[in-house]
Structure 1
């Protein structure tokens, strides 16, 4: 995959504005190589639901969510628990990253004790901020949780589903990218969807600051096309295709076919 910046995300009107849910959008609507398209209203992506308000929950109910897959660490989920306000969905915890390991954390500051790749060292974007190491690390380690996520999505009655991490840009970004790629969505469309997180999170003008679960000030940085390219290049360099990557980590051909049956629709 080329390392150029992605083209502008198609239509910021894809963002769904619900109080207390940042960076929410439908992951559908993209054409697939077999002449179909990813169905709308089946798979959503966002930041966590820990700020969801009662009014927001009333609006979120219109999506009819049956499953919410949380890619955050257990520590994050305890500190910032998802809110329901009466919504009836199955909440599934599938951390993208392994449990905090001091040796792994020493590899990069992006793997700080939060286990949250949305954070990075206080350096200019792209200059030793640790995110390249984190995306390489996710290419090495995220296969099993992505397969587990797909298995939840293809379970009977699981859709519509929402996949989220802390702010819905890095862990969610690579998970959705692999799913879309395995279903035949063009790389340019995947990169454009990935880039839309900068609009969804107000990161177009640079990083934003927040306090993590330890009370430490962190910076949430804009996504960069080169990061997703790095992740996909590492995956494709080893497995040739994202479908091969998923199969290497245990997803069967039948399961991939079921994912396609569940999410891909024929275009008129």
Structure 2
């Protein structure tokens, strides 16, 4: 196959994710962006979505952009409607990395229709809630809550390291479109998005802007509030409205606490991605080739 013809087929496959008989099998794992009507809406138009948004369109330091329709971040998908499932099926989501613990998944199950069911990856674990302020939640102050939330983010890097590694493994294998979520789509998901966008070469300021979009797109009313102990799925329980607002918010100090750990690592962010997440220089180049575009 001549270079010109080879390139022509490559462009056809990238445009439509089509693998025709006799074509090189290496292209089978190349994800193609799903067509999204312009202008792109970062928040997906879902009736029961919670902070469900597309990471496409962000510019990288080398002048490329994240492809639309391949990388999604979200809160719990428990409220998705039949119409929502059809919407997501049309987007071709193949894998969902659900970072919620076993109790969260049991209390807010997701019933994907068999025809549209992606492969859902999750772990059975109990969330470490020791970052929460001591004492009766009714007595927590806003300052205590803010400090506790910031302290939680370095813990997230450690506790979810294996799940973040698995997410990157799926992406390196070309298993996209891929979505990842927790309950609110802010903390565990926020750290995952920050790691992913950083790996793709998106500037830090833009990564933080994406993190802060939760303040625009997360409806606090969608989070449960019961007379029970606070948990990742139930942050509002037993606390004052002022403290609840602090805990639900995407505060720059929270994500900054995670970035301090990353930046302090030998070699900075690239060293952290290499040593803690197993992403070599070649892996980073592959991720960028798969999920970035110059268009």
Q: Which TM-score applies when normalising by structure 1?
A: 0.78
Shift of the 18–192 alpha-carbon distance from structure 1 to 2, 3 Å rule, reads: same
Q: Pick the aligned partner of 2:87 from 42, 54, 59.
A: 59
CA contact 1:110–1:134 (8 Å) conserved in 2: no
Match of 1:141 in 2: 159
**For residues 69 and 262 of structure 1, what CA distance do their matches in structure 2 show?**
19
CA contact 1:45–1:162 (8 Å) conserved in 2: yes
Q: Does 1:178 align with 2:206?
A: no
Shift of the 121–17 alpha-carbon distance from structure 1 to 2, 3 Å rule, reads: farther
Q: Does 1:100 align with 2:126?
A: yes
Counting only pairs closer than 5 Å after superposition, residues 74-223 of structure 1 correspond to structure 2 as 74-85=102-113, 86-94=115-123, 99-100=125-126, 105=129, 107-109=130-132, 121=137, 123-129=140-146, 130-156=148-174, 158-203=175-220, 210-211=224-225, 218-219=235-236, 221-223=248-250
**For residues 72 and 213 of structure 1, what CA distance do their matches in structure 2 show?**
21
Shift of the 257–87 alpha-carbon distance from structure 1 to 2, 3 Å rule, reads: same
Counting only pairs closer than 5 Å after superposition, residues 34-53 of structure 1 correspond to structure 2 as 34-53=62-81
**For residues 141 and 58 of structure 1, what CA distance do their matches in structure 2 show?**
34
Q: Which TM-score applies when normalising by structure 2?
A: 0.72
Shift of the 223–29 alpha-carbon distance from structure 1 to 2, 3 Å rule, reads: same
Shift of the 237–201 alpha-carbon distance from structure 1 to 2, 3 Å rule, reads: same
Q: Does 1:230 align with 2:257?
A: yes
How far off its partner does 1:218 sit?
A: 3.2
Report which of the two has the higher share of helix: 2
How far off its partner does 1:88 sit?
A: 3.0
Q: Pick the aligned partner of 1:32 from 60, 83, 103.
A: 60
Shift of the 214–93 alpha-carbon distance from structure 1 to 2, 3 Å rule, reads: farther
Bigger Rg, which one:
2
Q: Does 1:73 align with 2:90?
A: no
Shift of the 79–28 alpha-carbon distance from structure 1 to 2, 3 Å rule, reads: same
CA contact 1:69–1:91 (8 Å) conserved in 2: yes
What is the RMSD computed on CA atoms of the aligned residues? 2.9
How far off its partner does 1:181 sit?
A: 1.0
**For residues 45 and 222 of structure 2, what CA distance do their matches in structure 1 show?**
19
Q: Which runs of 5+ in 2 are unaligned?
A: 1-38, 237-246
CA contact 2:184–2:223 (8 Å) conserved in 1: no
Aligned pair count reads 239
Report which of the two has the higher share of strand: 1
How far off its partner does 1:128 sit?
A: 3.8
The structure, 1 or 2, with the larger RCO (C-alpha pairs under 8 Å, 6+ apart) is 1
CA deviations on 1:81-127 (whole Å, 9 max, x unpaired) are 222134131111157xxx337xx54x32279xxxxxxxx95534443
Instruction: Give the secondary structure class of the aligned counterpart of 1:139.
Output: helix
CA deviations on 1:28-79 (whole Å, 9 max, x unpaired) are 1111112211111110111121111112212222221111111111222222
How far off its partner does 1:252 sit?
A: 3.1
How far off its partner does 1:227 sit?
A: 0.8
CA deviations on 1:159-207 (whole Å, 9 max, x unpaired) are 111111111111110101111112211111111111111111135xxx9
Mean alpha-carbon deviation: is it higher for 214-223 or for 245-254?
A: 214-223
